[in-house]
Amino acid sequence: MAENHRKTEVRMINIAILASGDGSNAENIIYYSKNMHSYRVSAIVTNNPQAGVIERARKLSIPYLITNDTSLQSTDFILKMSELGIKALILAGFLKKIPVELIHAFPILNIHPALLPKYGGKGMYGMHVHRSVIEHRELVSGITIHEVDEWYDHGPVLFQATCTIAPDETPESLAEKIHTLEHAHYPQVIDKWLQTRFAS
């Protein structure tokens, strides 16, 4: 009797991206998702009414929501995500601590612009991280992609990538190196993570 082999399939997964700033990572993920069949960016969420990510969302016809600390942890927000069919949240430069209510409601992925566990924690984001890395005379920096738990920059690490730090490195030049790593790796890691989490 021939053995039946069950084929693993992944349905289209709706995700929301949470971002507080310019949104270059968010846009990169959106473009990547348009060529994939595993996930779709169905919403952009920001806590900053002036964030550049809003204009990127408009340009790419992605629905967006502006939220704050109170509404982010509300049942209404979680219900809104559920109404949109959101299955996972992706942080891309979101500068607020994720409330425990969201952590319990959704799997969440974050990217940090340093090699955790170094240079993480409250207040360690963006240029603050790059300045600290250079001030401590590190030879390498990089990115860390990890699942989100109840602590800042904590949770299981899925992926890291590194870049060298030149003797004359500046926070601005290091930021460019880090952005290159983020754009090169984050969409693919999201894809693999979602396929693992939602495989059937």
What value does the mean pLDDT take over residues 1-20? 69
Residue 7 lies in a domain: no
What value does the mean pLDDT take over residues 155-163? 97
Residue 59 lies in a domain: yes
Number of domains making up the chain? 1
pLDDT, residue 200, reads 59
% of the chain at pLDDT higher than 90 = 83
Residue 1 lies in a domain: no
Q: What is the mean pLDDT of the chain?
A: 92
pLDDT above 90 for 68:
no
Residue 113 lies in a domain: yes
% of the chain at pLDDT higher than 70 = 94
Position with higher pLDDT, 152 vs 11: 152
Position with higher pLDDT, 55 vs 4: 55
Position with higher pLDDT, 148 vs 3: 148
Residues 6+ apart with CB under 8 A from 19: 25, 26, 44, 45, 46, 51, 53, 91, 92, 93, 94
- What CATH number does the domain containing 108 carry? 3.40.50.170
Nearest CA to 159 among 180, 138, 190, 196?
190
Residue 144 lies in a domain: yes
Domain of residue 131: give its range.
Answer: 13-198
SS (H, E, C) the chain: CCCCCCCCCCCCEEEEEECCCCCHHHHHHHHHHHCCCCEEEEEEEECCCCCHHHHHHHHCCCCEEECCHHHHCCHHHHHHHHHCCEEEEEECCCCCCCCHHHHHHCCEEEEECCCCCCCCCCCCCHHHHHHHHHHCCCCEEEEEEEECCCCCCCCCEEEEEEEECCCCCCHHHHHHHHHHHHHHHHHHHHHHHHHHHHCC
Residue 4 lies in a domain: no
Residue 22 lies in a domain: yes
Residue 158 lies in a domain: yes
pLDDT above 90 for 70:
no
Known catalytic residues?
Answer: 112
